[in-house]
Amino acid sequence: MIKILFVCHGNICRSPMAEFVFKDMVKKRGLEREFHIESRATHTDEIWNGQGSPVYPPARAKLNEVGISCAGKHAQLLAKSDYKDYDYIIGMDGENARWMPRILGGDRDNKICLLLDYTDHPRDVADPWYTGNFEITYTDIVEGCEAFLDYLKDEGVL
């Protein structure tokens, strides 16, 4: 079982999109039993009295448009204990990359990475909270998830 945790600032746009796109991708390849996949936030902006917001409506709409449901997902905060529970902890941008080791207590086992580092053009996933463009974010995420899956095959993990 390969345990994957996607991480972004609020856990309402990018990391839930990555979580559900990657779940869909592995399901379509008949690999869902090989994986446990979740997502988390580095910040509490979308967590109110312990209750996380649902996936942001335009992000949910983009997923629904391509036949992917994210029903039931609510924002959850990244916790130090997640470090031992996951094999790959995958952020979306440079800001996440700075926060993840602070929250997780370092990165002794080199589990922390950024999604688009697996592609031929490493860069931040476009942040739709600021760009308003969920299409580009979705395209970035699909590119990153496909590249990550290829990486796992090339490394012999899958």
Catalytically annotated residues: 8, 14, 127
Q: Is 8 in the site for ligand 4NP (CB under 6 A)?
A: yes
- Residue number, 19 or 152, with CB nearest to ligand 4NP: 19
Q: Is 39 in the site for ligand 4NP (CB under 6 A)?
A: no
Question: Of the ranges 8-16, 22-30, 32-40, 64-72, which one interacts with ligand 4NP (CB under 6 A)?
Answer: 8-16
- Helix, strand or coil, per DSSP, at residue 142: helix
Under 8 Å CB-to-CB from 118, ≥6 apart: which residues? 144, 147, 148, 150, 151
Q: Tokens for 13, please give them.
A: 């746009």
Q: Is 129 in the site for ligand 4NP (CB under 6 A)?
A: yes
Nearest residue to ligand 4NP by CB is 10
The DSSP output letter for 38 is E
Q: Which phi and psi (to 5°) does residue 132 adopt? A: 75, 0
Residue numbers at the binding site for ligand 4NP (CB under 6 A): 8-14, 45-46, 127, 129
